[in-house]
Amino acid sequence: METEKQRIRHNAFTRRWYRRNRRYKLQQNKAWCQSNKKKVNARVRLHRHGMTQEEHDALLRKQKNRCAVCRKKFRKTPHIDHCHKAKRNRGLLCDDCNLGLGRFKDNVKALRRAIKYLKDWR
C-alpha cells in the first residue's frame, strides 16, 4: 500500500509526463476511439442518456430500424431524442428530424405554425 507522500509524488510525475507527451497521448486516444466506435457510442449513450446497449437495441427493434418522425430507415447511427425538461428519452431520430426538432426547441406551437405555413403554400 502506498503512502500519501508516494501518491502525491506519483500524481506529480504523471502530470509532468502528460504535459510533455500530450500530443502523443491525444493521438493515441483518437486512434483508440476510431477503432472502438461501438464501445465509445455505448459509453456515451449510457453517460448522456442513461441507455444501455440492450435498451438501445430494443428501441431500434420497436421502431423497426426507422426514424420515429419520418419513418425512413436509419443509414447512420440514430440520435436519441430526449426531453430536456423531463430528462426522458423519447425515441430514435435520423439526422434531419433531430436537427429539425432541435431548431424548434420542442415548441409545439411553433411546429403547428410551421405545419400551417407549409399547408398554406401547397
Are residues 29 and 48 both part of a single domain? no
Are residues 104 and 57 both part of a single domain? yes
Are residues 1 and 15 both part of a single domain? yes
Three-state DSSP state, 76: coil
Cβ neighbors of 60 (< 8 A, separation 6 or more) are 74, 78, 92
Domain enclosing residue 88, as ranges: 37-120
Q: Which residue, chain included where needed, has cell 464501445?
A: 39
Contact between 66 and 74 under an 8 Å Cβ cutoff? The reply is yes
d(CA 18, CA 94): 39
Are residues 8 and 42 both part of a single domain? no
Are residues 45 and 98 both part of a single domain? yes
pLDDT of residue 1 exceeding 70, the answer is: no
CA angle (110, 112, 113) in 5-degree steps: 65
* Mean pLDDT in residue range 35-46: 93
pLDDT of residue 2 exceeding 80, the answer is: no
Are residues 42 and 22 both part of a single domain? no
Q: Is the pTM of this model over 0.75?
A: no
Number of domains in the chain: 2
Span of 50-59, 78-87, 94-103 with lowest mean pLDDT: 78-87
